[in-house]
Amino acid sequence: MNSSIRSVLRRLGTDQHLEDERHQRLAREVEDARRRQVSGSGASGSPAPSLSDLPEELLSESEKRHEKYRRQQAMAGRFGPAAERLPIMTAEERRQRDKARPKWTQTQFEGPIEKLILKYGDIAEVKKHLTLGQSMKYEFTEDGRVLDRNGKVIYDGQRLVKDA
């Protein structure tokens, strides 16, 4: 709301009659809710009335916040401690899991694939030393050949193929 509207409303003031009616209606609703709570709890022996039994509109902001946290704590109490609910991994299980995981090796650019083939000779070893971009650029066939994106043979399994 802009400031000019606020200043006009401030000068006009509030209609006391409407405010009084609103307060009376709220008081009646609160009293009805209390009466229902007292009549319900007296016969059944249930605990004292709580804020959750009152309509949301009747609660102040601090009461709403209090009720929210009370509900959260009640929900947390329904579950056991996390240590009892969740599977706990033993040291032996952790070692077995770590053995099964592949070890990450850092790669860095060592040169073009031709230089790597000359340096290492073995295609499996060359694959270990390729960067991610290089490994996406070349295709390795089952018969040991290396092809580039265009399908040209770079390595035929025995030697490097030079462009003619």
Which residues are registered as beta bridge partners of 140? 146
Asked whether the CA dihedral 56, 60, 66, 69 is positive or negative, the reply is: positive
Q: How far apart are CA 133 and CA 141, in angstroms?
A: 18
- pTM, 2 dp: 0.37
- CB neighbours of residue 96 within 10 Å: 11
Q: How far apart are CA 148 and CA 137, in angstroms?
A: 6
CA angle 18, 23, 29 (to 5 degrees): 125
Q: Let me know: does 117 contact 126? Beta carbons within 8 Å.
A: yes
Strand order in the sheet with 139-140: 139-140, 146-147, 153-155
Per-residue model confidence as pLDDT tens for the chain (164 residues)? 688 877 777 777 766 677 788 888 888 988 888 888 888 765 544 555 566 677 777 788 888 899 898 888 888 777 777 767 778 888 999 999 899 888 877 778 888 888 998 898 888 888 888 888 888 899 988 888 888 888 888 888 788 877 64
